[in-house]
């Protein structure tokens, strides 16, 4: 598989072509930032939370596909997902998801201590959600 094909498969894994999930998460995030700031939040916080929302939604898609990898092949809507087709291996998906989370956590380190501490249970919820929908 070429690098371009692998990159395309990873983009498919994070549903890059379907931004509605990111937008649905971003909307309440931006509202919370505006309310907490009492107006327009600092640009650096906006960037951190916008990029972080995209990264964590992407990591959530990876976690979902890892949890459902043995079921997705039996469902018409999901049978073409990269883990089902073999375009991305379980190990590659796991590593990619961890890298996405690590980058998101590095971004959180540029915020205050309360936000850093609150990010830990948030990450745990994101990681376990796919297992709880059964």
pLDDT tens for 65-75 read: 999 999 898 99
Which residue's entry shows tokens 């929908």?
Answer: 133
Angle among Cα 48, 102, 119 to the nearest 5 degrees reads 60
Q: Which residues have a Cβ under 8 Å from the Cβ of 128 and sit 6 or more positions away?
A: none
Per-residue three-class SS string for the chain:
CCHHHHHHHHHHHCCCCCCHHHHHHHHHHHHHHHHHHCCCCCHHHHHHHHHHHHHHHHHHHHHHHHHHCCCHHHCCCCCCCHHHHCCCCHHHHHHHHHHHHHHHHHHHCCCCHHHHHHHHHHHHHHHHHHHHCC
pLDDT at 134: 64
SS3 breakdown of the chain: % helix, strand, coil, rounded to 5? 75, 0, 25
Categorize the per-residue pLDDT at 62 as very low, low, confident or very high, splitting at 50, 70 and 90: very high
Q: If 0-12 CB within 10 Å is exposed, 13-18 middle and 19+ buried, where does residue 48 land?
A: buried
What percentage of the chain carries pLDDT values higher than 70? Answer: 99
Categorize the per-residue pLDDT at 34 as very low, low, confident or very high, splitting at 50, 70 and 90: very high
pLDDT tens for 71-92 read: 898 999 999 999 999 999 999 9
């Amino acid at each position: 598989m070429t690098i371009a094909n692998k990159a395309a498969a990873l983009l498919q894994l994070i549903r890059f072509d379907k931004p509605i999930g990111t937008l649905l998460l971003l909307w309440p995030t931006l509202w919370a930032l505006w309310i907490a700031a009492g107006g327009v939040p600092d640009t650096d916080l906006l960037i951190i939370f916008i990029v972080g929302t995209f990264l964590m939604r992407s990591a959530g898609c990876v976690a979902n596909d890892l949890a459902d990898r043995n079921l997705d092949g039996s469902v018409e809507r999901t049978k073409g997902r990269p883990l089902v087709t073999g375009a991305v291996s379980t190990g590659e998906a796991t590593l990619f998801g961890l890298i996405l989370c690590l980058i998101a956590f590095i971004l959180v380190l540029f915020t205050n201590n309360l936000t850093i501490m609150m990010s830990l249970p948030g990450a745990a919820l994101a990681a376990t959600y796919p297992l709880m929908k059964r």
